[in-house]
């Protein structure tokens, strides 16, 4: 039953309100039409205040209320995603669940989409030292890390029984032997190599000291240090003088889990099908992230 029929039923039968040629029916038709427009206008007004249904200029006005603005060449679909991010910020955005939900909306699902907290990254640190030098180094990770340590002799001369020590923990690793100019000693867990030669049996203990998350002081030493003499007190047949002491390049290589960092990883085909760009994903991730957090976008094959 339409609106005109519902109104006409309220009149006495003798008015014959159902006859379309009658003045009453024409009057009821006009009233019904205005009521339909009013009802439709109310529904349109409500839709104009909802991000999911507002369009064009209505969406631009909503943007102003949220302190946002339509970007150049940004269509309604992308602007809606922009406004949802603004709402998420008011709701306490920055959590993995909020970020994941936003990207799931952008990709219409979570197919080939992954958010990785504290992603891994290869890191290294190098120090040019002589015997008894110290330095400060930490893992720059969310935890203590195991590192491969390499010692490369630079300059003329030899080094004997080189040792690397974590001064704060007292852990050290020592090679019993000599290294000459250009030779490199690589120390790993249960493995030590000089070039292609396995020298694991000459190294104690079998595991390098840990890189601490909080950082610690380190020291390089060698047996040669005990034999270094001074010109006014040393003996040429018993002491080695500092002029010929070579420098050693100490290098640490390790994999760290990046603190205060998350990575959005998506396959290139999924990205192409979505119509979005890598730069747009980066902008979205950085918009949603909490202060002090690093956001990375990685597109994979």
pLDDT tens digits, one per residue of 95-116: 666 677 777 766 766 667 888 8
Model pTM score: 0.63
pLDDT digits (tens, 9 = 90+) for 151-165: 999 978 889 999 999
- E strands within the chain? 113-117, 120-129, 134-137, 148-154, 158-160, 163-166, 171-175, 178-180, 184-188, 191-194, 197-198, 203-204, 216-221, 228-229, 240-241, 247-257, 261-267, 294-300
pLDDT band at 14 (very low <50, low <70, confident <90, very high): low
The CA R_g of the chain, rounded to the nearest whole Å, is 37
């Amino acid at each position: 039953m339409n609106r005109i029929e519902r109104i006409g039923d309220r009149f006495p039968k003798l008015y014959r309100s159902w006859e379309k040629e009658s003045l009453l029916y024409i009057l009821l038709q006009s009233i019904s039409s205005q009521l339909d427009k009013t009802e439709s206008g109310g529904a349109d007004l409500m839709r104009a205040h909802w991000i999911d249904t507002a369009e064009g200029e209505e969406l631009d006005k909503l943007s102003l209320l949220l302190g946002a603005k339509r970007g150049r060449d940004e269509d309604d679909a992308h602007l809606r995603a922009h406004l949802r991010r603004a709402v998420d910020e008011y709701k306490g955005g920055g959590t993995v669940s909020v970020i994941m939900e936003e990207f799931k909306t952008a990709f219409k699902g979570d197919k080939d989409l992954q958010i990785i907290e504290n992603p891994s990254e290869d890191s290294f640190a190098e120090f040019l030292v002589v015997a008894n030098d110290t330095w400060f180094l930490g893992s720059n990770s969310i935890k203590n890390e195991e590192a491969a340590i390499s010692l490369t002799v630079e300059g003329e001369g030899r080094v004997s029984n080189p040792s690397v020590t974590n001064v704060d923990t007292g852990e050290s690793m020592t090679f019993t032997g000599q290294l000459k100019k250009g030779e490199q000693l690589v120390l790993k867990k249960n493995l030590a190599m000089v070039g292609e030669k396995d020298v694991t049996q000459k190294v104690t203990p079998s595991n390098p000291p840990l890189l601490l998350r909080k950082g610690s002081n380190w020291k390089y030493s060698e047996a040669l240090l005990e034999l270094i003499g001074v010109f006014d007190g040393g003996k040429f047949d018993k002491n080695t003088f500092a002029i010929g002491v070579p420098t050693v390049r100490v290098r640490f290589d390790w994999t760290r889990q990046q603190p205060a960092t998350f990575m959005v990883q998506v396959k290139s085909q999924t990205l192409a099908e979505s119509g979005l760009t890598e730069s747009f994903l980066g902008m979205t991730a950085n918009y949603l992230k909490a202060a002090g957090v690093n956001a990375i976008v990685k597109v994979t094959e």
